[in-house]
Amino acid sequence: MSYLGAATNIVGGELQGWAAVLEKQAMKDAYQQEINKQNQFQQQAMGTFDPSKSSAAAMMQGVGQGAQGRVRAYNQIGQVPLGPGPSHQIGQPQINLGSADAYTKMLGQSRANLGGYSDWAVQQAINNLNTQRQLDQISNFAGSEAKNIYPLQMYKAQHSLDDLAMVGQAISSIGGGAANYAQLSQAPTQAPGYYPVYSGNQMSPAIWSGYGGYGNMPPQGTGYNPYTDQSTAPGVMSGYGF
């Protein structure tokens, strides 16, 4: 029985130990999976950036497009007639407004070139907004994964082999019980010391109180018999322990 207890204790402890080790490994795997997942989010976020929109060449292209758009707008609105032209004397040639037109066009081109920078800045701000939206969504998803799911995945990994640990615990408890039972059921290996005690009544040998209550039998091997040995009769001898 004692061997069974020892064996079950060993097996149970081994199972619990393996459960702890494997759970630790599972937690490590869960951590690595989370790292990989966050790396994917990071790659996804990096994909939202478009360096071609932020370069100096892209800026100049945007400025040029903005300027062209403004020149078009100036030309269109310049062709809108707002009223009759200048008055002039009858019989005289019409007044030439070529210098005003040339000045307006020249000023318009410069004005459009200047306004192109503003147009690029506005477009860039809108591009940044669009990029920020995508980043917000990605960071929202990534943050929620890390904040709401990852701890529970770690919890799951931490308790993934609870069954094995419980079985080990159960087996260990069986072993502990067996050991206790073996200890209780085992015969004593050492004889108790015998001290014949005289109780004061001299009528019967039964008054001899043996050691440990073993039927007042004398210890084995001593050669002493209180029924036959008269030397121990009360009042004759001092007796053991007197």
Partner 1 sequence: MGFTLYDIVKGGTPDYAGMSQAQEQQRQQAITQGTQKINQAFSGFTPSFYQQRAQAYQDFALPQLSQQYQTNRNQIGFGLANRGLLSSSAGTKQWNDLGKAMGQAKQTIADTGIAQSQALQQQVQNQESTLLNQLYQSADPAGAGQQATQTAANYAAPSVYQPLGNLLGSVANQYYLSQLINTYRPTGSSPQVGGPPSYYSGMGGLPNQPAYGY
Contact residues toward partner 1 (CB under 8 A) are 69-70, 73-74, 76-78, 80, 82-84, 86-89, 92-93, 95-97, 99-101, 103-105, 107-108, 111, 115, 118-119, 122, 125-126, 129-130, 132-133, 136-137, 140-141, 144-145, 148-149, 152-153, 155-156, 159, 162-163, 166-167, 169-170, 173-174
Nearer to partner 1, 98 or 213 (CB): 98
**Residue 237 gets which letter from DSSP?**
S
Least distance CB 232 / partner 1 (angstroms): 56
Q: Supply the minimum distance, in Å, between the C-beta of residue 97 and partner 1.
A: 4
Residue closer to partner 1 (CB basis): 93 or 241? 93
The Cα–Cα gap between 89 and 209 comes to 161
Q: Residue 171 is inside which H or E element, if any?
A: helix 162-185
Give per-residue burial for 58-72: e unless 16+ CB within 10 Å, then b: beeebbeebbeebbe
CB of 199 to partner 1, least distance (A): 50
Which residue number, 111 or 208, has a Cβ lying nearer to partner 1?
Answer: 111
In the bound state with partner 1, the residue whose beta carbon lies nearer, of 12 and 218, is: 12
Q: Which is nearer to partner 1, 174 or 182 (CB)?
A: 174
65: left (phi over 0), alpha (psi -120 to 50) or beta: alpha
Q: Does residue 14 contact residue 22 with C-beta atoms inside 8 Å?
A: no
Smallest distance, Å, CB 81 to partner 1? Answer: 8
Q: Which is nearer to partner 1, 78 or 205 (CB)?
A: 78
Helix (H, G, I), strand (E, B) or coil at 38: helix
Residue 209: strand pairing partners: 197
Would you say 17 or 177 has its CB closer to partner 1?
177
* Residue 26, token pair as written in the block: 């599972």
Query: Residue 197 carries which DSSP code?
Result: B
CB of 225 to partner 1, least distance (A): 53
Q: Smallest distance from the beta carbon of 131 to partner 1, in angstroms?
A: 11
Q: Which residues of 186-203 are buried (b: 16+ CB within 10 A; e: fewer)?
A: eeeeeeeebebbbeeeee
What does the alpha-carbon distance between residue 242 and residue 234 come to, in Å, rounded to a whole number? Answer: 11
Question: Min. distance of Cβ 74 from partner 1 in angstroms?
Answer: 5
CA 16, CA 10: separation in Å to the nearest integer? 10
